[in-house]
Amino acid sequence: MNGLKLAKSALISVFNKDGLAPIVKKLDTLGIRIFSTGGTEQFIKDLGIEVTPVEDLTSYPSILGGRVKTLHPKVFGGILNRQDNPGDVAEMKEFEIPQIDIVIVDLYPFEQTVASGASEEDIIEKIDIGGISLIRAAAKNFKDVICVSSVDDYSDFLELISKNEGETSIDDRKRFAAKSFNVSSNYDTAIFNFFNTEEKVFKQSFTTGKELRYGENPHQRGTFYGDFEAMFDQLHGKELSYNNLLDVDAAVNLMNEFKNDAPTFAILKHNNACGLAQRENLVDAYKDALAGDPVSAFGGVLISNVEIDTATAEEIHSLFCEVVIAPSYSEKALEILSGKKNRIILVQKEVELPNQLVRTCLNGVLVQDRDNKTDNKEELTRATHNKPSSEELNDLIFASKICKHTKSNTIVLVKNKQLLASGTGQTSRVDALTHSIEKATAFNFDLSGSVMASDAFFPFPDCVEIAGTAGITAVIQPGGSIKDQLSIDYCNNNNIAMVMTGTRHFKH
């Protein structure tokens, strides 16, 4: 049984009227009676189409500055009555309540008002009461009523009633009901999160999701919930995968540390930087980033903090890479990079990232503040007699920024603002250091005069001992171990400078 219903009346009360005119005209052509109020009523009148004011139905005007317009039994009775229930049918007749078959609503833009930085008074006035009530009522009674709950669904609804001449099936109405409860629940979540400052309650809502080709592996399903287009313009290439998105996220967070610096280029693989360098021009920054690990760079994600020019694009083009990200591209650079059919080319926009990070854990979720702390020279504490040179100090801060965005346990080695190597995701700090030294040596880097960054303190002096033997001359670390003095003593005795940040940067 398809539960076909031919609509005879509609109630329209919307904030966003873009795309509404074709719907109103179609309803009029189909002979469907239209009820409306306020600005929507005037909009319909201006189209030269007959409309019945809600006030004529309720015998009450819009009151309290428009706060109360549709909240009346003659409106909600017309929506909520069960047409197959004899008692409801009798009461509809007794109280002269007209049947309402279609409800079209677009809510006040609460989230947009909050995002605009408006006053609390203005924000409160954008909490829709009548509209959200109409949506819930119409969606609840989907057996008899179809609810259009957002401007995003105008075109879908217009196509439906145009195709079927005003008739809808039970499946159509239930589908639109699901859309409606999606809208209403998201709206209430946004309001709660605006008001909530004390309750330890987690509520997060996205109204749309993008199905990915698969998840982390081909046998896993994957979906991205968020507004990717708000952050990027994709100029070329295939659709991003689950793993691409994770790498892009890591790349964006890392490059934010160098946002206003000299030309900086990074290459990432599996969420970690395998190459990063800062130079006076971008092409040299790219070449030195690639030199850090030309093997891991294959299939990586590349990101620049400045526009990618022709010379840099020509160098990149010879490398197989999944994604290239930059704030902009020269015309010729874009032409060159587009020479590979599947290469994903993204323009990063200026968008503020969420201040909280969320991840699933056991049968729930973990929520924490974003690590917005960036180590800087002014807050460093010199732990050793030996003072780092100006060049070493610059390299120490450079290394610390990379270390912050590398999986723990990690050690990062830097020289002349070039990532020489890093030990990533190791179970011990000694393993991380040993791995980084072996890797740097394999790519023929001279570690003499290089610096070392650690994401956490040294529980024993073994790391600085290994570092000193390798030629490392300066160290940056959080400090805080009860055995800090052992590492400090070794550095003092071996002419190694050490500074402490007081801030740990674990990343798991």
* Catalytic residue ranges: 140, 270
d(CA 163, CA 236): 36
Residues near 6 by beta carbon (within 8 Å), at least 6 away in sequence:
166, 167
Residues near 490 by beta carbon (within 8 Å), at least 6 away in sequence:
461, 464, 465, 468, 496
Structure tokens at 289: 């980033």
Residue 205 CA from chain centroid, whole number: 12
5, 475, 501 from 381: Cα distances, Å: 75, 12, 6
d(CA 296, CA 350): 29
Strands 300-304 and 264-269, by their bridges, are antiparallel
Query: What amino acid occupies position 363?
Result: N
Please give the backbone phi and psi of residue 429, each rounded to the nearest 5 degrees, phi first: -70, -35
95, 136, 188, 189 from 205: Cα distances, Å: 40, 18, 10, 7
Find the Cα–Cα–Cα–Cα dihedral 399, 404, 408, 409, rounded to 10°.
30
Query: Shortest CA distance to 311 belongs to which of 281, 289, 274?
Result: 281
Query: Shortest CA distance to 414 belongs to which of 458, 457, 453, 471?
Result: 453
Strands 9-14 and 102-106, by their bridges, are parallel
d(CA 183, CA 105): 11
Signed CA dihedral, 158, 159, 164, 168: sign only: negative
DSSP per-residue codes, 86-127? HHHHHHHHHTTPPP--EEEEE---HHHHHHTT--HHHHHHTS
Structure tokens at 434: 């040993």
230, 248, 302, 304, 408 from 343: Cα distances, Å: 21, 14, 11, 16, 30
Query: Shortest CA distance to 36 belongs to which of 4, 13, 62?
Result: 13
